[in-house]
Each structure stands twice: as C-alpha cells, then as structure tokens.
C-alpha cells in the first residue's frame, strides 16, 4: 500500500517527493472520490490507452499524450508528414468511446458555415431552420487544418474555448464531451494558411508521430493483411469520460507545484531566445495535463516530474523564438528553459 493510501482521513501527508497530498480527490460536486473509485476510473482510462495502442504501432508516447488531453478536456494538434498515422489515431480514439465522431477535411474553399452549420429557410413553414454542422459532435477530427482559410480556422476558436457556437446571432451549446484533434502537414506550404497564435493557444498539446522503426514498420505491414486489425470495440461510455474528467480536474496540486509551473512559464517570457512567451492559459493547461497524468497513473496528486515531462508538448507551440522555426522543434527551446528552473523538492 502506498503512503497516499494510508493517510488518516481529512489529514494531509507528504509523498515521496516531500509534497503535501490529500487523502482523496474532491469531485465537481464537492464530494470526495475514494481511492477505490479513483483506481477504478484510472483502470478505465488505462483500458482506453491500451485499446489505441493495440492499433497504432510504436506510438505509445503520442497515444498517451492524446489520451491525457482527452481526459483533461483539452484539444490536440498533431503536426507531421502524411501517412504516419495521424488520422488513424483520431479514428481509433473515437471508436474506443461510445460517442459521436465526425471528420472535416479542410480545404481552401471550406466555409465557416460548413463547419458550424447554417440556417435554411423552410418555405412551407415560413421559418428558418438551423442545420447543425459537423462541429456538433463529441469528437471532431479537423484534418489538415492549415489548408482551411483563417476565416474558417477562427470558427473553431469559440467552440474550443467555450464549448459553444454562435451562428446567425444565436449561441448554441456543444456537448459536454467535446474534443478536437487537428492535423497538419508542417512540410507542405503550398495552398496552406499557418495557424494564428490565438488558434494555437487553444490546443492543449502539440505533438508529432514520426516514422516507425524498422521492425515496427514490418509489424504495420502484418496488421495491414488482417482486415480486423484496425477495428476496436468501445471501452468507455460518454458518461464515464465525463466522470473521468471530473476526477482529473480535482486531482490535488500542491502549492509548490503551482509555483513550479508559474516559474517555468515566467521564464519563457524572459528568455533571451524567445520573443513571445507563454500566456496564463498555458499555465492552466499545463496544470490540467499534469493532473491527467497523475490520474492515468492512479495517483491523486501531481508530481514535479509530471510537469517537467509535459512542458515541451504543452508549451512548445505557445512560444515564438527570435528565429522562426518549425513549431514542433520549439520543444527543444522549452527544454532549455526547464534546465534553468529549479525543481521543487
């Protein structure tokens, strides 16, 4: 039994890192989640992780990051060349949850109304009827988002931040479970529109998949010969995902961990190689992602290493270096920042 599980009720103890932690995580309703229930929900999240890994070969880290964002209510931007499994990851995650899934293939002629919906005049009834767009779903794949015009890209801003869409002067709520996975090819620049900083800031995580290793690619070929290799069954219901998110949002974060997060973010604003540092939204999302890691690992408290491991993926796409470069490589710049920030002990 771990130290966290043997604490006295309504008291706090120190974990192995010397950090204060609670006996149980409070829910959104103010109640507490027992260690047994937390372990049960964490097990369901692990089942989701394993389900996706059973399809994607050699992408354990990328899959884990996507699940972290999914469980914490964030959104994911996957930047990589075509054919490495970006769309497959999104579809497999969607198939692993009993929720609605829709895909938008972004092109330069895609209009905001094609994404959000449009009002059509019903001549027979003499009224306008709203036809919802694909954004009214639980899991949305925006494929090659940088091929859409800035006008269409910006139509996602309100949805990703506030879970609502405003069309024709009316505000319409999106489902409680709303998750966006956007993909883009960072190499191809013809006919593309780089995402503005405001749009990038809405994504919790930015990641890439990369090419598989030799033996992994052989395994991919073996899977290709099996017609059922890329099909999975749902392991989580929509209600269970919402419950997991409530548990994640209430994972305990010790004050020194919060200060560590702010120190990292503040350092990006003063770093000599960075023109634009990370906004407070970056601090919030880094904390949320760290809570999701703790939840996924069956803990009810965040550790400093959770924050440090996630920082390149949460903060990398939020900084602008003095020499503009590919956004995926900005993670290296965050690694340099981390070297200068003391880790709480």
Instruction: For residue range 207-264, list pLDDT tens digits in order.
Output: 988 899 999 999 999 998 988 888 889 999 999 999 999 999 889 999 999 999 999 9
- pLDDT tens for 108-167 read 999 999 999 998 888 888 888 899 999 999 999 999 999 999 888 888 888 898 899 988
Cβ atoms 7, 289 nearer than 8 A: no
Q: What are phi and psi of 102, to 5 degrees?
A: -135, 155
In angstroms, how far is CA 298 from the centroid of its own chain? 19
Residue 66 forms part of a structural domain: yes
Question: Where would I find the beta strands (DSSP E) of 5-115?
Answer: 13-14, 20-21, 25-26, 32-33, 76-79, 97-98, 101-105
Q: Nearest CA to 164 among 105, 95, 116, 106?
A: 116
Residue 324 forms part of a structural domain: yes
Distance CA 72, CA 45 (A): 12
Question: Where would I find the beta strands (DSSP E) of 134-269?
Answer: 139-143, 164-167, 170-173, 179-184, 205-207, 236-237
Q: Given CA atoms 195, 290, 293, 140 in this order, what sign does their dihedral have? A: negative
Structure tokens at 310: 């996630």
> CATH number for the domain including 154?
3.40.50.300
In angstroms, how far is CA 14 from the centroid of its own chain? 30
Residue 5 forms part of a structural domain: no
Distance CA 124, CA 95 (A): 39
Residue 286 forms part of a structural domain: yes
Residue 237: which residues within 8 A CB-CB, separation 6 or more? Answer: 97, 98
Residue 203: which domain range?
A: 14-216+234-340
Structure tokens at 83: 């054919």
State what percent of residues in the chain have pLDDT above 90: 50
Residue 221 forms part of a structural domain: no
Task: Give the position of tokens 């690992």.
Answer: 297
The conformation of residue 297, written as its DSSP 8-state character, comes to: T
Structure tokens at 228: 């059922």
- Helices and strands per DSSP (H, E), number in the chain: 13, 17
- pLDDT tens for 291-342 read 999 999 999 899 999 999 999 999 989 888 876 544 436 778 888 899 989 9
Task: Give the position of tokens 């994607």.
Answer: 56
Q: How many domains does the chain have?
A: 1
Residue 226 forms part of a structural domain: no
Residue 322 forms part of a structural domain: yes
Residue 224 forms part of a structural domain: no
């Amino acid at each position: 039994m771990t130290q966290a599980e043997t604490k006295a009720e309504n008291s706090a103890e120190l974990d192995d890192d010397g950090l204060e932690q609670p006996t149980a995580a409070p829910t959104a309703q103010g109640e507490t989640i027992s260690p047994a229930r937390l372990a049960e929900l964490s097990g369901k999240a692990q089942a989701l992780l394993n389900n996706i890994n059973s399809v994607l070969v050699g992408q354990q880290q990328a899959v884990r990051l996507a699940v972290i964002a999914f469980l914490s209510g964030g959104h994911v931007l996957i930047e990589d060349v075509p054919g490495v499994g970006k769309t497959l990851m999104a579809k497999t995650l969607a198939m692993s949850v009993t929720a609605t899934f829709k895909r938008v293939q972004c092109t330069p002629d895609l209009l905001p109304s094609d994404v959000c919906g449009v009002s059509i005049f019903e001549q027979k009834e003499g009224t306008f009827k709203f036809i919802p767009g694909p954004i009214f779903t639980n899991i949305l794949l925006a494929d090659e988002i940088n091929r859409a015009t800035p006008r269409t890209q910006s139509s996602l801003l309100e949805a990703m931040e506030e879970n609502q869409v405003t069309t024709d002067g009316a505000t319409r709520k999106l489902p409680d479970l709303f998750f966006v996975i956007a993909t883009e090819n960072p190499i191809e620049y013809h006919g593309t529109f780089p995402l503005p900083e405001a749009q990038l800031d809405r994504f919790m995580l930015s990641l890439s998949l990369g090419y598989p290793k030799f033996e992994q690619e052989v395994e991919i070929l073996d899977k290709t010969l099996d017609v059922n290799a890329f099909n999975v069954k749902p392991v989580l219901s929509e209600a269970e995902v919402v419950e997991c998110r409530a548990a994640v949002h209430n994972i305990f974060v010790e004050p020194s961990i919060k200060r560590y997060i702010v120190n990292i973010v503040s350092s990006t604003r003063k770093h000599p190689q960075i023109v634009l540092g990370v906004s407070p939204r970056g601090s919030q999302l880094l904390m949320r992602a760290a809570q999701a890691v703790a939840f996924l690992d069956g803990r009810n408290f965040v550790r400093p290493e959770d924050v440090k491991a996630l920082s390149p993926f949460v903060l990398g796409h939020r900084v602008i270096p003095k020499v503009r470069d590919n956004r995926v490589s900005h993670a290296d710049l965050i690694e340099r920042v981390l070297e200068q920030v003391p880790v709480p002990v």
